[in-house]
Amino acid sequence: MGGSLKNFLAALGVFFLVLIVISLLVTLLYEDSSIGFGDKVGVVTIEGIITEPTYINNQINDLAERDDIKAIVLRINSPGGAVGPAQEIYREVQKLKDQKHVVVSMGSVAASGGYYIASAADKIVSNPGTITGSIGVIVEFINLEELFSKIGLKGQVIKSAKYKDIGSPFRSMKDEENRLIKKVLDDVHKQFVEAVAEGRGMKVEEVVKLADGRIFSGAQAKQLGLVDQLGNLNDAINLGAELAGIEGKPRVVYTKKRMPGLWSTLFGDYTGQYYRELLAGMLPGGFRIMYLLKEPSG
């Protein structure tokens, strides 16, 4: 009797073990879309102020190398950021289009550098109320000369060349320095306009009329040709699947989001990053030229 009970319990244990293994396999194959069979749509998220492109570009390249990923959606929720990083991501999206179909889904905001990146995609899908546009360039300096004077501090700069301390917080900028910086900004602005014209298939003259830094709603952007259609993330995923010829409901692979830093945790994504960049710009020679929609004051 004891032996029969042991055999029964052993068989029952094996049954439950097999059941658990089958359940895990079903979960992996049918619930985890990144492992299941069939063609898929990948989603890469671009959030916050853009200051470093490597993490995003690595995610793009990882999905680009997968044969089962037929289209990639870039979910952009960003007011832009530093010029160089935005341009690096833009270039990576251009190369990606040679391998996959690329669709952008705009979140709450996809402005300035966020729109710069979006313009490289095959198609752009925006919510009607998304804040976008802000095609322009900005650089900011902080002048602490009067404050230092009031508290008895004086900055000392030793430089090897005439313009090496442009933007120093220890003094006001000279007119010729303002003109020099303006020439750089004009050139970078021209690059922005040309990138949008190329990406959107528009004439440069058409983009110039819109490139005065103003923002647009998603609905306005569609009317102006800056956006292809109105819709949400799921609409963008379905569009990507349609472009790639995927039949039925597409499986979706979401890349991992980067963990927020201390500034973002304390002050919020945009505000924290904005003031971090502002403080970085206070250092002599530390200013950054930005494709950035500024954080509203007040």
Contacts of 62 (CB under 8 A, 6+ apart): 255
290/193 Cα distance (integer angstroms): 14
* Residue 217 near residue 129 (C-beta atoms within 8 A): yes
Tell me, yes or no, if 154 is annotated catalytic.
no
* Residue 206 near residue 120 (C-beta atoms within 8 A): no
Of the residues 78, 100, 105, 112, only one is catalytic, namely 112
Tokens of 197: 């014209």
Of the residues 164, 183, 203, 257, only one is catalytic, namely 164
- Reduced DSSP (H G I as helix, E B as strand, rest coil) percent helix, strand, coil of the chain, to 5: 45, 20, 35
Tell me, yes or no, if 264 is annotated catalytic.
no
Q: Could you tell me whether strands 251-254 and 131-133 are parallel, antiparallel, or unpaired per DSSP bridges?
A: unpaired
237/25 Cα distance (integer angstroms): 26
Tokens of 86: 């935005």
Tokens of 116: 């710069």
For the chain, the straight-line distance linking the first and the last C-alpha, in angstroms and rounded, comes to 81
Tell whether the torsion through CA atoms of 77, 80, 81 and 83 is positive or negative: positive
Catalytic residues: 112, 164
